């Protein structure tokens, strides 16, 4: 029998500490939709998505209501579009993005991910066309998200792809300049991209996945902070133990919702992603957890160690709570989407270099970082290369979601709105990386990849 204290604890977590399910994401395979006629392919894509995800939003709402647990987003991830579109006789893949957008609107989801290409070793024709189409796709749609995998531990870093993505990001920012380059907020450049990530903008339905699957991402930084408030001054063993216990509880709710959603929708249950996803709301911040551990501001010395502890303890607590763990599963530090992070940048406590160091011990990378609008494509490419190197060498996922905000300079504040939050433009190193990026080719896979 559940006792009263347990009931009140759960209700406090839900009502005061903003515990929620960040997303239920339906992964849908589009492999059967390839067609030489792009019009036909787009129709097949639209039909497949709208038929698989017909009841997704409705089911999400019903589960949220019955269990009393908010489910903030319902999303769709599809097979990387470059794989499907390659068979079609067209150079411009914008039509595929428009088909995804239409399907997303019809099903009522918040975002659809998968305008993606996996080019960690090289480009096929379809990959090259997809990448060329990213700026138009992201500027002419609202709900479509794009991701590109440019490196893996096994393949090394495709520096041609890295250079190309620098240009794509700059161009995407230009085309969405009236909205502070918001197109770039829907574009992730990955190293070691997971195939079952439920979080946007990087979600796609991997090639090794089943026909249709439900993946769930939890949230709950507020609950972790509240738990730590009760053990102020205690040693790190106690801190880790406290986080583990609360992470277990958070993840179990995710597991319950994942299993229930998959069963009601009649599709396979995929994974629960253990990431603690913050929001721009007060009381829902990862940065504030680090500060609760004793740092005056997130970004000061000690932040990397604090984040490493948090990330590890969340996994240890979460892993037993879920039958299948996957996706990114680590603390997120998206700057504009975390109230404490924005505050740290504004105070001058957090810069891009410290942020980069922090990404070595958590997922996912330099996320939602605004930089000056005049930042060169090569500098952006070099930032991507650095992040990819951290991912490749440490055998983990890293990513870059960076916004060179047109017309804005260091210190300017930009409101993206909604979950994307607000950003303060951060300083990048003014010295050039141009000649480094222009070399091209591939950075070989590290020795640590040779495990066979």
Partner 1 sequence: MSAAERPKKEGAEESPARRAIITVVGRDRVGIIAGISAFLAESNVNILDISQTILQEYFTMMMIVDLAGSKMDTDELREKLVASGESLGLSITLQLEQVFKAMHRIDAL
How many whole angstroms separate alpha carbon 281 and alpha carbon 157?
A: 36
DSSP state of 412: -
> Exactly one of 8, 122, 234, 436 binds partner 1 (CB under 8 A); which one?
8
Point out which residues pair with 149 in neighbouring strands.
Answer: 118, 190
* Residue 61 or 232 having the CB closest to partner 1: 61
* Residue 67 or 123 having the CB closest to partner 1: 67
Burial of 307 (0-12, 13-18, 19+ CB in 10 A): buried
Give me the 196-235 binding string for partner 1, x by CB under 8 A, dash otherwise: ----------------------------------------
> Of 205-213, 256-264, 332-340, 378-386, which part binds partner 1 (CB under 8 A)?
256-264
Instruction: Report, in Å, the least distance between residue 8 CB and partner 1.
Output: 7
> Of 67-75, 78-86, 362-370, 438-446, which part binds partner 1 (CB under 8 A)?
67-75
User: Within 263-282, which residues bind partner 1 (CB under 8 A)?
Assistant: 263-264, 266
The structure tokens listed for 36 are 């030489």
The structure tokens listed for 339 are 């109230």
Q: Does 316 bind partner 1 (CB under 8 A)?
A: no
Note the helical H segments in 176-323.
221-229, 236-265, 286-292, 303-319
How many whole angstroms separate alpha carbon 246 and alpha carbon 66?
A: 22
Q: Does 57 bind partner 1 (CB under 8 A)?
A: no
Is residue 247 within 8 Å of 53, Cβ to Cβ? Answer: no
Q: Does 51 bind partner 1 (CB under 8 A)?
A: no
> Exactly one of 36, 68, 294, 417 binds partner 1 (CB under 8 A); which one?
68
Point out which residues pair with 399 in neighbouring strands.
Answer: 190, 365
Q: Does 6 bind partner 1 (CB under 8 A)?
A: yes
* Residue 130 or 262 having the CB closest to partner 1: 262
Among 78, 79, 61, smallest CA distance to 24 is for 61
Is residue 133 within 8 Å of 91, Cβ to Cβ? Answer: no
> Of 3-11, 26-34, 135-143, 348-356, which part binds partner 1 (CB under 8 A)?
3-11
DSSP state of 387: H
Q: For binding to partner 1 (CB under 8 A), which residues are involved?
A: 1-2, 4, 6-11, 15, 55, 58-59, 62, 65-69, 249, 252-253, 255-256, 259-260, 263-264, 266, 320
């Amino acid at each position: 029998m559940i006792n009263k204290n347990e009931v009140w604890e759960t209700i406090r977590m839900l009502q005061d500490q903003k515990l929620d399910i960040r997303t239920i994401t339906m992964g849908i395979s589009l492999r059967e939709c390839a067609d030489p006629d792009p019009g036909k392919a787009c129709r097949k894509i639209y039909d497949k998505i709208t038929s698989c995800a017909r009841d997704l939003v409705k089911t999400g709402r019903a589960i949220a209501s019955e269990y009393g647990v908010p489910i903030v987003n319902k999303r769709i991830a599809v097979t990387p579009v470059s794989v499907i579109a390659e068979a079609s006789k067209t150079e411009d893949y914008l039509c595929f993005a428009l088909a995804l957008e239409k399907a997303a609107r019809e099903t009522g989801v918040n975002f659809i991910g998968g305008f993606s290409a996996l080019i960690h070793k090289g480009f096929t024709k379809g990959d090259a066309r997809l990448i060329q189409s990213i700026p138009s796709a992201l500027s002419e749609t609202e709900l479509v998200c794009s991701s590109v995998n440019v490196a893996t531990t096994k393949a090394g870093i495709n520096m041609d792809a890295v250079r190309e993505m620098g240009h794509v990001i700059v161009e995407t920012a230009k085309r969405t300049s009236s909205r502070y380059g918001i197109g770039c907020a829907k574009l992730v450049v990955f190293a070691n991209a997971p195939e079952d990530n439920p979080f946007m903008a990087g979600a796609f339905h991997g090639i090794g996945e089943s026909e249709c699957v439900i993946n769930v991402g939890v949230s709950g930084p507020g609950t972790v902070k509240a738990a730590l408030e009760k053990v102020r001054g205690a040693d790190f063993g106690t801190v880790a133990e406290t986080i583990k216990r609360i992470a277990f509880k958070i993840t179990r709710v995710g597991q319950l919702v994942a299993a229930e959603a998959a069963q009601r929708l009649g599709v396979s249950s995929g994974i629960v992603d253990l990431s603690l996803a913050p929001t721009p709301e007060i009381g829902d911040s990862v940065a504030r957890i680090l500060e609760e551990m004793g740092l005056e501001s997130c970004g000061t010395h000690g932040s990397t160690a604090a984040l490493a502890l948090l990330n590890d303890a969340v996994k240890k607590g979460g892993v037993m709570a879920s039958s299948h763990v996957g996706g990114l599963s680590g603390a997120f530090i998206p700057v504009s989407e975390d109230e404490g992070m924005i505050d740290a940048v504004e105070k001058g406590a957090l810069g891009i270099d410290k942020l980069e160091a922090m990404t070595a011990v958590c997922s996912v990378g330099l996320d939602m970082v605004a930089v000056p609008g005049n930042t060169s494509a090569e500098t952006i490419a070099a930032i991507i290369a650095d992040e990819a190197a951290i991912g490749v060498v440490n055998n983990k996922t890293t990513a870059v979601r960076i916004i060179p905000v047109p017309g804005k300079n260091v210190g300017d504040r930009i409101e993206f709105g909604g979950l994307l939050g607000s950003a303060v433009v951060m300083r990048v190193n003014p010295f050039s990386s141009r000649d480094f990026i222009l070399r091209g080719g591939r950075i070989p896979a590290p020795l640590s990849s040779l495990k066979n």
